[in-house]
Amino acid sequence: MFPKWFNDWNSENPTNIYGPAILIGALGGAVVLATLVVSWGNPFNDEFNQTGPRGTGMQIPSIATMTADPTLEEYYSEPPYPREEGEPLASEIYENVQVLGGVSEGNFNRLMNAMTLWVAPDQGCAYCHAGADEGDYADDSLYTKIVARRMIQMTQWINEEWGAHVNYNAEVGVNCYTCHRGENVPSEIWFRIDPVTEATEGWAAVQNRATVQSQFTSLPSDALYRYLYEDNIIVVHDLESRVAGTPGQGDYASIQDAERTYSLMNYFANSLGVNCVFCHNSRAFYDGAQFTPQWGAASLAIEMVRGMNNEFLEPLGPEYPEHRLGPVYADAPKAACKTCHKGYNKPMQGLNMAADWPELASTEPPVYE
């Protein structure tokens, strides 16, 4: 029943009954482990993105090891059509084309179809075009068409002016689906809601109430408004004690400024699915010389989002119906980091969103091969 070497061992070593068992167990375990590695992959072969100087251990798991973004499965994309000789432009065929007039007719319709799938897959063309059922696409009576036109301009602006952020890791850019993900209104938009309590004023009026803006913490709920709409300095209180000055006045940072900063940083972390060391060296949060490269990308993002909110989103307030406006100030919906990132440090997990859509990558008419 047993191999000869096993019986010989037992006869020569009658008191050592564990040696052969250990050997067989070790060999069997090695076979099982090898089988698992071949079938499931090496569990210690995770891929990481280095976020700081070598040797500091500042790294995060790469997208290869993260949970897949479920919205990737619904993304529609289609390569541009080569422009046929003599093919007219959209402005030569259709009426009231204000922002995509230099696009060839075939690619214009290709983009319109994609925008429908990205933003209004259930409603179809009629979501923006009141006369779609009758073949009239020139009418501007629906607010959705006015907003969509401005959003096309915003997307072109982001890809043209903010490549240092949206193409930070690779040439990926953005398009409508980056934010909308098949929904009429993107998730993770925000409105101004401070003060959050009516019984108090000042500092206490903007915190100690769980809100989306504070990521359901007791931190201030006005951080997005103060830093991603208004142009306030993001800063914590002084590192020294007994510094002369009045908190909140001049260059003297108040404790409330610090708590607003913590609120914003907490929002950033939740938006990108990372923690503090993605941008900061934990031994010296205050030292800009020790920040990671991602800090620079995040700083650009803050400026970009302020521009989006001030130049494109908030000015659309008069176009929206009442039910689309904010509950406190009737303000227009605004964007922040989570509107695009959705909990991942790379939106759409790094998928190139501009490659098939040169019409959205620049205000200049695309040159089709």
Q: Which residues are annotated as a binding site for heme?
A: 112, 125, 128-129, 151, 165, 176, 179-180, 265, 276, 279-280, 337, 340-341
CA-wise closest residue to 357 among 9, 33, 110: 110
Residues 295 and 298: their CA atoms lie apart, in Å, by: 5
Q: How is residue 56 written in tokens?
A: 């500091």
Please give the structure tokens belonging to residue 124: 């179809």
Q: How far is CA 227 from CA 232, 257, 262, in A?
A: 6, 11, 12
> To 5 degrees, how large is the angle CA 108–CA 114–CA 115?
90
- Closest C-alpha to 151, from 129, 175, 125: 175
Tell me the C-alpha distance between 119 and 51, whole Å: 34
Question: In whole angstroms, what is the distance from residue 118 CA to residue 347 CA?
Answer: 15
Query: Using CA atoms, how far apart are residues 28 and 22, in angstroms rounded to an integer?
Result: 10
Q: Which residues are annotated as a binding site?
A: 112, 125, 128-129, 151, 165, 176, 179-180, 265, 276, 279-280, 337, 340-341
**Which among 293, 78, 268, 58 is positioned nearest to 164, based on CA atoms?**
293
For residue 122, the number of C-alpha atoms closer than 13 Å in the C-beta half-sphere is 4
Look at the alpha carbons of 325, 259, 312, 167 in this order and tell me if their dihedral is positive or negative: negative
Helix (H) or strand (E) holding 48: strand 48-50
